[in-house]
């Protein structure tokens, strides 16, 4: 049975000070099978505190979302950026291993520079893969939004260069680029057969509508989840589904009810 995970980013964010203790306070009220730990750039100076807190927390963390500046630095590619990104990536891998995670989700490109020089990002994959292998972690690259080409083209280029590359597929990111239906084409078997993780998220905007990029709860957008989950079953997908829907308001208060509705909706869809 597929596990339904909850991203820690659904409840921990800037409005509530990225307070890691919120996970401990709310985890028993969240109807999930485990968590995907989202690393933040402001936590590098607090790693000892985070390790200490998480070590005393009875929480299953199968998946670890690598902090996004790793991809941003690779994308910017100014002097020293790539070296710094690899150093940060190793820190992420060490923490993921300590948390008991087995899988990494990576934005190989990210930020304003995005995929401006995708060949460089793809070239960096081999170094990232070497580091993740050293820690015994499965590295998956996400079809994150981009502003020069499109996610599937970039993942195809990565696949051509590294046939062993594995992927996280995000429904919102695909819908943003009007590429969700393209996943179902036989021409996309190279991608479908190597999906090892899924972010089940909704999206309410149109094609590349940056003003509507916020992750929505299941049912609040235009993603056809019935068709998506039916397809995932036909390809024999047995991995996890993570919900990332933002569940806190501008004051930082967490909406557990809406979060649980999304988690349970994904669970029902996965059982179709």
Domain boundaries, the chain: 4-270
Model confidence band, residue 1 (pLDDT cutoffs 50, 70, 90): confident
Residues 144-184 pLDDT 10s? 999 999 999 999 999 999 999 999 999 999 999 999 999 99
What pLDDT shows up at residue 36? 98
What pLDDT shows up at residue 226? 97
Q: Is the pLDDT of residue 109 over 80?
A: yes
What pLDDT shows up at residue 102? 98
Model confidence band, residue 19 (pLDDT cutoffs 50, 70, 90): very high
Model confidence band, residue 18 (pLDDT cutoffs 50, 70, 90): very high
Q: 258 is written with which tokens?
A: 């809406």
What pLDDT shows up at residue 59? 96
Full 3-state SS string of the chain: CCCEEEEHHHCCCHHHCCCCHHHHHHHHHCCCCCEEEECCHHHHHHHHHHHHHHHCCCCCCCEEECCCHHHHHHHHCCCCHHHHHHHHHHHHHHHHHHCCCCEEEECCCCCCCCCCCHHHHHHHHHHHHHHHHHCCCEEEEECCCCCCCCHHHHHHHHHHHCCCCEEEEEHHHHHHCCCCHHHHCHHHHHHHCCEEEEECCECCCCCCCHHHCCCECCCCCCCCHHHHHHHHHHCCCCCCEEECCCCECCCCCECHHHHHHHHHHHHHHHCC
Residues 48-61 pLDDT 10s? 999 999 999 999 99
Q: CA-to-CA distance for 19 and 54, rounded, in angstroms?
A: 12
What pLDDT shows up at residue 198? 98
What pLDDT shows up at residue 272? 79
Residues 191-222 pLDDT 10s? 999 999 999 999 999 999 999 999 999 999 99
What pLDDT shows up at residue 21? 97
Query: With contact defined as beta carbons under 8 Å apart, do 13 and 214 qualify?
Result: no
Q: Topology of 4-270 in CATH?
A: TIM Barrel (3.20.20)
Dihedrals φ, ψ of 266, to 5°?
A: -65, -40
Percent of the chain with pLDDT over 90: 98
Residues 226-261 pLDDT 10s? 999 999 999 999 999 999 999 999 999 999 999 999
Q: What is the mean pLDDT of the chain?
A: 97
pTM above 0.85, yes or no: yes
């Amino acid at each position: 049975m597929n596990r339904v995970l909850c991203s820690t980013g659904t409840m921990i964010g800037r409005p509530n000070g990225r307070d890691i203790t919120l996970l401990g306070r709310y985890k028993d009220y969240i109807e999930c099978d485990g968590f995907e730990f989202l690393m933040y750039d402001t936590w590098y100076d607090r790693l000892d505190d985070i390790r200490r807190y998480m070590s005393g927390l009875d929480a299953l963390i199968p998946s670890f979302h690598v902090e996004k500046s790793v991809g941003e630095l690779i994308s910017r590619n100014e002097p020293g950026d790539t070296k710094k990104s690899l150093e940060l990536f190793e820190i992420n891998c060490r923490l993921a291993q300590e948390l008991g995670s087995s899988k990494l989700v990576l934005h190989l490109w990210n930020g304003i520079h995005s995929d401006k020089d995708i060949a460089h990002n793809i070239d960096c994959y081999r170094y990232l893969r070497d580091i993740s292998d050293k820690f015994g972690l499965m590295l998956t690259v996400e079809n994150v939004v981009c502003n020069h080409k499109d996610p599937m083209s970039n993942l195809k280029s990565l696949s051509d260069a590294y046939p062993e590359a594995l992927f996280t597929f995000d429904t919102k990111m695909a819908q943003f680029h009007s590429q969700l239906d393209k996943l179902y084409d036989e021409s996309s078997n190279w991608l479908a057969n190597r999906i090892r993780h899924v972010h089940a998220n909704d999206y309410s905007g149109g094609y590349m509508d940056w003003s509507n990029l916020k992750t929505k709860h299941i049912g609040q957008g235009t993603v056809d989840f019935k068709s998506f989950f039916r397809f995932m079953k036909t390809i024999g997908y047995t991995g996890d589904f993570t919900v990332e829907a933002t569940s806190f308001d501008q004051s930082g208060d967490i909406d557990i009810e809406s979060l649980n509705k999304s988690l349970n909706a994904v669970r029902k869809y996965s059982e179709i």
